[in-house]
């Protein structure tokens, strides 16, 4: 029950980030809800498609759709108040990223994916929704141009894969992987770390 509640919290936070981006892009209420659903559920849908799970898990559980869509609607009406909670949203976003990546990696391993593929699938589960959100808004995905986000996700996925390979308890492995992701992500925000970019570019 605790894991389900935490996963729904992660979905709500990701949905809120998508809805906020949609409001800033001046989309109508339908567009805001679509962006909220895409951001919250897109990574999980991509994961299930890659693993051959049909229909995707998030489309078989009405709770996921209700939480994501409801959050989008709430943000549409209360976006000025939501904008003031930026620090809290960033913290919850880090927690959501940790939960999504570890669950995605664990699911991939359980369905027989090799460790390297499971790590990539786990990372995609965490960052896929945000990447789809940015593409729909005709932007270069945030995870590809600044901030330590995808790197944190991949590090946590590797921890899960190594732990599973070593035969450690699955719950402990998942918690450790999530903790690694959350720690790296929050440290990057606090210290303003960014991945290096090529030097000597004009403009």
Q: Is the pLDDT of residue 92 over 60?
A: yes
3-state secondary structure of 52: coil
Provide the CB-side half-sphere exposure for 57 (13 A, CA): 15
Q: How far apart are CA 194 and CA 141, in angstroms?
A: 14
The predicted pLDDT at position 170 comes to 86
pLDDT in tens, 143-192: 887 678 999 999 999 999 999 999 999 889 989 999 999 999 999 988 88
Task: With CA atoms as reference, report the closest residue to 147 among 134, 162, 161.
Answer: 134
Q: How far apart are CA 119 and CA 123, in angstroms?
A: 6
Q: CB burial class (10 A; 0-12, 13-18, 19+) of residue 78? A: exposed
pLDDT in tens, 19-74: 988 998 999 999 999 999 999 999 999 999 999 998 998 888 899 999 999 999 99
pTM assigned to the model:
0.87
- Does residue 196 form part of some domain? no
- Does residue 90 form part of some domain? yes
- Does residue 49 form part of some domain? yes
* Domain residue limits at 167: 1-191
- Does residue 203 form part of some domain? no
**Owner of token pair 């949905």:** 15
- Does residue 198 form part of some domain? no
The predicted pLDDT at position 13 comes to 85
- Does residue 201 form part of some domain? no
- Does residue 48 form part of some domain? yes
Length of the chain: 203
Domains in the chain, number:
1
Ramachandran angles phi, psi of 55, nearest 5°: -70, 160
């Amino acid at each position: 029950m605790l894991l389900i509640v935490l996963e729904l919290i992660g979905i709500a936070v990701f949905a809120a980030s998508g809805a906020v981006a949609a409001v800033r892009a001046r989309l109508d209420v339908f567009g805001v809800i679509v962006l909220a659903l895409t951001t919250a559920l897109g990574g999980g849908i991509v994961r299930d498609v890659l693993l051959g799970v049909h229909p995707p898990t998030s489309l078989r559980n009405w709770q996921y759709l209700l939480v994501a869509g409801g959050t989008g609607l709430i943000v549409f009406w209360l976006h000025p108040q939501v904008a003031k909670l930026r620090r809290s949203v960033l913290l919850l976003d880090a927690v959501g990223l940790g939960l999504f990546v570890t669950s995605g990696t664990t699911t991939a391993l359980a369905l027989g994916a090799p460790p390297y593929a499971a790590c990539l699938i786990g990372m995609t589960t965490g960052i896929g929704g945000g990447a789809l959100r940015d593409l729909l808004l005709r932007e270069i995905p945030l995870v590809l141009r600044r901030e330590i986000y995808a790197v944190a996700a991949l590090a946590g996925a590797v921890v899960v894969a190594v732990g599973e390979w070593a035969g450690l308890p699955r719950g402990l492995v998942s918690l450790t992987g999530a903790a690694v992701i959350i720690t790296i992500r929050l440290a990057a925000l606090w210290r303003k770390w960014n991945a290096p970019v090529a030097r000597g570019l004009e403009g």
